Structure 1
């Protein structure tokens, strides 16, 4: 404790010890100015000067036009001029469009496609020629047949329309008869397709395997994530040929059908289809026959 007190007193003496700063004439050594200073006074003076300098700089940047010369700042006048130039540019485009329409009318008169009564500049302002009217055309037989074909393709397409992505269509995982269909009321969000044991199960579309494991209730299960928020689920398999994280192609074998798990009554594929986290009836998009 005594040592600490001595150290403090020593520091205090150093801070308060007085010094004299003298300004002398170099030739005559005559004293011109003199100041009494302490270390504490010098520290306080420097600190206050720094604070005042920072405050003055902040004020100049915030409240004076000098801030316009700082990179990254733009004046209100420049912004106003930019807005006015944008409006003028838009107006010039409109004038240019009307002039082009007027010149087009002159051309039509000179080529005999129109009479001089239509050659009136003011009429463009009243009824400007925007675009040619679209003529209604009755669809041909070939067009009707094409529309019918596209509608049939839409029946088995999970997308809103077949034209959204022509390359995207669903491949049947297996072929067989459906023993139990999709029933949302009974919470059976799948179709059960009866197949022989060890029948190859194929991916309905390109995607990535996000689950490939054994479960007590549904045996070997594999889930694949596809484009457009689509998920396909395959349950009760006898074996799995793809692991989690692998990429699969449309029609590629991913498992073999079986009868594993507690909730099974024989060899079949329990197939689910989910679109944007909502279960959908697979028979609306895939033909299993």
Structure 2
């Protein structure tokens, strides 16, 4: 019985209507009146909150604002973001090459690097001039002496060499990536070998050049 009385009392209290009256202060005339209960107030409050939630949800779902929600990014926007990131990375690489090129050109103008140490202009955009190893004095002296000694030596061009019985050794194990082609001024055969693979000379000879270039890397030249 006590529970039923409390329940009836609760519903009676929540549905009890209060009268809100607005009076004219001077004449005490009733301007407006409103009868409202707690139940009506709660109903209006929840209805307003529902409408606000519905409007906000509709705006987020039906407009591009939904792409800013975590985990709601569609595939097209994701693909565009990835493409933009790749473009940005490519542009950054181009800018770095341009800065490197300008820095190397400045070093050339300042006389800090010799022009004969550059194999091609393209090498100016791939590495810093400071990392190019110059020839030592001993190497320069040997090359000058060899060039002076062989300046008027025409035997290598006129002599009929007997190649019979000569056994050429394979310099290294690998895949041929470039063949000899005089038309393109490619006077050699390119081999792509695994890292740390041993390299041997095809014949007995004398090392006339040992250096490092930006295009070919470490270079050893032999005179057979």
Calculate the TM-score normalised by the size of structure 2: 0.37
**Larger strand proportion of the pair:** 1
Calculate the TM-score normalised by the size of structure 1: 0.30
